[in-house]
């Protein structure tokens, strides 16, 4: 979408050379205008694939007070997948800025800021973007695209944990076990995941790609001129991560020794990070279904965020005691009772109650959407459904 993001856009700046990765986001937003349209026009699998295609164009720059060379380093431009975590997709950012950083700087000491606010790497990239760029009841701010991030190697806040690739992988694995337990009462399906499928999951999550010069840019939307394109000297070379993924894909296309003539479905080559992820998740979902049996899911793993450090997680039953599907409003009333109680009180007294605005995968979602459908379509690779809640101005004022 263009620089003036309408509700339902998943990212993509005006004039910045981004490929068609943002096109699926427009399709997802268009089809999520109402629950009936969502369920009637789009299957959950289709919505999940569109959500996976969402990315956030970002521009990284080294903090001025940490530049140790005569000339500041060029900015680093990249497409960050919404579904991943910062340590998994910023390895090249570290390599790009480390030669210009203070002498004692190390790769493990890098941390980032957005408008002076430190970023918590434990929160998924897309959730961070929605939290930090959303305004009053509107997801995202067109002026924030591309996402401007400041890289630092010193003066890390005391409450900011260091985050390496291994730390991020451990976080995702732990959350995946937790979400599996919430769904079926056991983490065994995740513990039974093969090393190959585990590696494939993280291969899909480490798929950030630099924005290269000469790529076609989407037409700017009306209402303003596009920002100037960065000069070619500011753009990084071809991504080593992409090269490694291509090499791994080529290797996977070769028939393993001892299996000639008997390729399995999981050995089929994948042409996109989403296909790699689906191949890895297939045995996990099958194991989860076996654990569920005929009982159905015990709970829908859901996390509601109002800020980077303000979030709640509680088991959300897929069905209400009446047997009706649990809606997003029901789930958020459980997770954020004070916010919804204030809105109900205002409505009961004849006023206009303002409920929080819910954003899932960068899209404003109607509160009467079934939470089970949202989970199947928009959950993250760690097995949780992340909901960003924009609180009404009155409640933010009261705290």
| Mean pLDDT calculated for residue range 274-297 | 81
Mind listing the pLDDT tens digit for each residue in 358-380?
999 999 999 999 999 999 999 99
The mean pLDDT value for 387-397 works out to 72
The shares of helix, strand and coil residues in the chain, as percent rounded to the nearest 5, are 45, 15, 45
The predicted structure's pLDDT at residue 138:
57
Report pLDDT for 270. Answer: 52
Residue 69 has pLDDT above 80, yes or no: yes
Position 218 scores a pLDDT of: 39
Q: Are 127 and 120 spatial neighbours (Cβ–Cβ below 8 Å)?
A: no
258 vs 329 pLDDT, higher one: 329
Q: How far apart are the first and last CA of the chain?
A: 33
Which token pair is 180? Answer: 């599996």
The set of residues, in sequence order, having a beta carbon less than 8 Å from that of 157 and lying 6+ positions away, is 111, 118
Q: Which residues pair with 113 in a beta bridge?
A: 118, 150
Handedness of CA 150, 156, 159, 161 (dihedral sign): positive
Percent of the chain with pLDDT over 90: 39
Q: Report the pLDDT value the prediction gives residue 157, as an integer from 0 to 100.
A: 83
What is the dihedral sign for C-alpha 109, 110, 113, 119? Answer: negative
Q: What is the pLDDT of residue 160?
A: 76
Average pLDDT over residues 303-313: 93
d(CA 11, CA 308): 19
SS3 21: helix
Q: How far apart are CA 290 and CA 67, in angstroms?
A: 55
pLDDT of residue 368: 92
Cα 34 to Cα 39, 108, 166, 368, 387, distances in angstroms = 9, 44, 40, 9, 17
Closest C-alpha to 154, from 30, 264, 67? 67
| Residue 380 DSSP class | -
pLDDT of 398 higher than 80: no
| Percent over 70 (pLDDT), the chain | 66
**pLDDT value, residue 149:** 96
User: What is the pTM assigned to this prediction?
Assistant: 0.75
In this predicted structure, what is the pLDDT of residue 118? 93
> By three-state DSSP, how is residue 58 classified?
strand
SS3 81: strand
**Least confident segment among 7-11, 191-195, 361-365:** 7-11
State how far the alpha carbon of 203 is from the alpha carbons of 79, 115, 271, 381, in Å. Answer: 16, 30, 12, 12
What are φ and ψ of residue 211, in 5° steps? -90, 115
Name the residue with higher pLDDT: 211 or 58. 58
Once rounded to an integer, what is the mean pLDDT over residues 221-227? 35
| Across 178-192, average pLDDT | 91
Give the model's pLDDT for residue 4: 34
Banded model confidence at residue 85, pLDDT cuts 50, 70, 90: very high
Alpha carbon distance 288, 307 (integer Å): 31
Residue 21 binned pLDDT confidence (cut-offs 50, 70, 90):
very low
129: tokens are 């973007």
Closest CA to 379 of 298, 301, 320: 301
Average pLDDT, whole number, for the chain? 74
Residue that wins the pLDDT comparison between 201 and 245: 201
Asked whether the predicted pLDDT for residue 399 surpasses 60, the reply is no
| Size of the chain in residues | 399
């Amino acid at each position: 979408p263009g620089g003036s993001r309408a509700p339902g856009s998943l990212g993509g700046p005006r004039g910045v050379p981004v490929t068609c990765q943002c096109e699926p986001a427009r399709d997802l937003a268009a089809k999520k205008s109402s629950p009936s349209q969502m369920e009637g026009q789009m299957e959950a699998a289709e919505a999940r694939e569109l959500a996976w295609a969402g990315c956030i164009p970002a521009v990284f720059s080294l903090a001025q007070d940490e530049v140790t060379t005569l000339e500041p380093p060029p900015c680093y431009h990249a497409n960050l997948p919404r579904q991943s975590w910062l340590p998994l997709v910023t390895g090249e950012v570290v390599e790009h800025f480390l030669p210009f950083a203070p002498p004692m700087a190390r790769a493990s000491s890098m941390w980032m800021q957005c408008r002076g606010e430190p970023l918590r790497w434990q929160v998924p990239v897309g959730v961070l973007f929605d939290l930090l760029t959303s305004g009053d009841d509107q997801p995202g701010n067109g002026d924030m695209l591309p996402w401007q991030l400041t890289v630092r190697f010193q003066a890390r806040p005391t409450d900011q944990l260091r985050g390496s690739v291994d730390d991020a992988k451990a976080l995702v694995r732990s959350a995946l076990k937790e979400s599996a337990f919430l769904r079926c009462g056991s983490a065994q399906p995740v513990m039974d995941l093969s090393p190959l499928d585990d590696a494939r999951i993280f291969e899909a999550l480490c798929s950030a790609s630099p924005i290269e010069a000469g790529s076609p840019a989407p037409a700017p939307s009306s209402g303003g001129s596009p920002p100037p394109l960065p000069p070619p000297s500011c753009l990084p070379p071809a991504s080593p991560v992409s090269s490694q993924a291509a090499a791994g894909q080529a290797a996977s296309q070769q028939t393993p020794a001892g299996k000639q003539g008997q390729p399995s479905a999981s050995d089929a080559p994948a042409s996109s990070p989403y296909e790699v992820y689906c191949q890895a998740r297939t045995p996990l979902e099958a194991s989860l279904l076996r654990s569920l049996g005929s009982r159905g899911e015990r709970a829908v793993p859901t996390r509601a965020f109002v800020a980077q450090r303000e979030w709640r997680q509680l088991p959300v039953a897929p069905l209400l005691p009446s047997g009706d599907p649990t809606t997003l409003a029901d789930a958020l009333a459980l997770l954020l009772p004070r916010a919804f109680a204030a809105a109900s009180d205002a409505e009961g007294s004849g006023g206009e109650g303002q409920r929080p605005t819910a954003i899932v995968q960068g899209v404003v979602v109607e509160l009467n959407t079934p939470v089970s459908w949202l989970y199947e379509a928009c959950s993250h690779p760690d097995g949780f459904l992340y909901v960003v809640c924009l609180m009404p101005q009155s409640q933010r004022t009261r705290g």
